[in-house]
Structure 1
Amino acid sequence: MKYGEIAHFSHPQHTLRFEYIEVPFKCDGCKEVGIGSRYKCSYCDFDLHMHCALPSSSISHPFYPKCSFQFLTRPPGDVQRYCNACEKDVSGFVYHCNSCGFDLHPCCAKLPRVLDDGDMKLFLYRKVSASCHRCGRKGRSWSYRSTCKNYNLHVACAKEMLVESWHELYFGRGGRGRKLETRIPSLKGTLGNHHGSRSSKSKVKKCCEMAGMAVQFIISAVLGDPSAIIAGVIGSMISKA
Structure 2
Amino acid sequence: MKYSEISHFSHPKHKLRFEHNEFPFKCDGCKEIGIGSRYKCSICDYDLHTHCAIPSTTLFHPFYTKCTFQFMQIPPGNTLRYCNACEKDVNGFVYHCKSCGFDLHPCCAKLPMVLNDGEMKLYLHRKVSSPCHRCGRKGRSWSYRSNCKSYNLHVACVREMLVENWYNLYMGHGKGSSRKLEATIPSLQNTLYAAHNCRGSRGSKGKKVKKCCEIAGFAVQIVISAVLGDPTTLIAGVVGALMSRA
TM-score w.r.t. structure 2 length? 0.89
Unaligned runs of 5+ in 2: 242-246
Distance 1:54 1:27 in 2: 13
Q: Secondary structure at the match of 2:208?
A: helix
Note if 1:196 corresponds to 2:197. yes
Alignment partner, residue 230 of structure 1: 235
Alignment partner, residue 239 of structure 1: none
Distance 1:156 1:166 in 2: 15
Alignment of 1:66-215 (within 5 A): 66-173=66-173, 176-196=177-197, 200-215=205-220
More moved, 39-48 vs 195-204: 195-204
Distance 1:77 1:222 in 2: 26
1:25-51 deviation digits (Å, cap 9, x = unpaired): 110000001111100002111000000
Distance 1:12 1:160 in 2: 32
CA deviation after TM superposition for structure 1 residue 191, in Å: 2.0
Note if 1:56 corresponds to 2:56. yes
Question: How many residue pairs are counted as aligned between the two chains?
Answer: 234
CA deviation after TM superposition for structure 1 residue 168, in Å: 2.9
Q: Secondary structure at the match of 1:164?
A: helix
Distance 1:154 1:40 in 2: 29
Q: Secondary structure at the match of 1:81?
A: coil
Contact 2:35–2:181 (CA<8 Å) still a contact in 1? Answer: no
Letter in 2 for 1:65: T
CA deviation after TM superposition for structure 1 residue 4, in Å: 1.0
CA deviation after TM superposition for structure 1 residue 170, in Å: 4.8
Distance 1:206 1:149 in 2: 16
1:206-237 deviation digits (Å, cap 9, x = unpaired): 2211111110100000000001012439x98x
- Which structure shows the bigger proportion of residues in helix conformation? 2
Closer, same or farther: CA 231–43 of 1 in aligned 2, 3 Å: farther
Contact 1:168–1:174 (CA<8 Å) still a contact in 2? Answer: no
1:95-149 deviation digits (Å, cap 9, x = unpaired): 0001110000000000000000111100000000011111110132000000000
Contact 1:129–1:139 (CA<8 Å) still a contact in 2? Answer: no
Unaligned runs of 5+ in 1: 237-241
Distance 2:193 2:49 in 1: 34
Distance 2:107 2:131 in 1: 24
TM-score w.r.t. structure 1 length? 0.91
Q: RMSD across aligned C-alpha pairs, in angstroms?
A: 2.0
1:67-87 deviation digits (Å, cap 9, x = unpaired): 000000010011110000000
Paired-residue identity, %: 72
